[in-house]
Amino acid sequence: MAGDGQSLRSTVQHAQEAGQTFVSVVSLYCQRTGLTLALQDYTDKKTGESSVIHALLDGLQHRGVVLTLDALHAQKKRLPPS
């Protein structure tokens, strides 16, 4: 199963400003069957691809799937300095 996010080019708003807004989607795709199993869009600047894909993956826990994700999702959570 592969997971990835894409920004939708035709959805950009306020293109000439620093605070652009655009719609992105994250999908989970099964390479074996060729089906998209989950798809979630987001526009909130506080929500990123990582948090959306984590929410989608929560529904797949304990199902024995192998995931293919890009490097963005391979980062370790860092603890604040003590």
Instruction: Look at residue 58 and tell me if it is in a domain.
Output: yes
Q: How many domains does the chain have?
A: 1
Amino acid, single-letter form, for residue 3? G
Instruction: Look at residue 81 and tell me if it is in a domain.
Output: no
What is the reported pTM?
Answer: 0.67
Instruction: Look at residue 12 and tell me if it is in a domain.
Output: yes
Write out the residue range of the structural domain in which residue 16 sits.
2-70
Instruction: Look at residue 19 and tell me if it is in a domain.
Output: yes
Return the closest-CA partner of residue 28 out of 71, 76, 65, 72: 65
Q: Residue 30 is encoded by which pair of tokens?
A: 């099964």
- The string of DSSP codes covering 58-78 is HTTTTS----EE-GGGGPPPP
Instruction: Look at residue 65 and tell me if it is in a domain.
Output: yes
Instruction: Look at residue 39 and tell me if it is in a domain.
Output: yes
Q: Residue 65 is encoded by which pair of tokens?
A: 């799937």
**pLDDT tens, position by position, 27-81:** 999 988 999 988 888 886 667 888 888 888 887 776 778 888 877 766 666 556 5
Instruction: Look at residue 9 and tell me if it is in a domain.
Output: yes
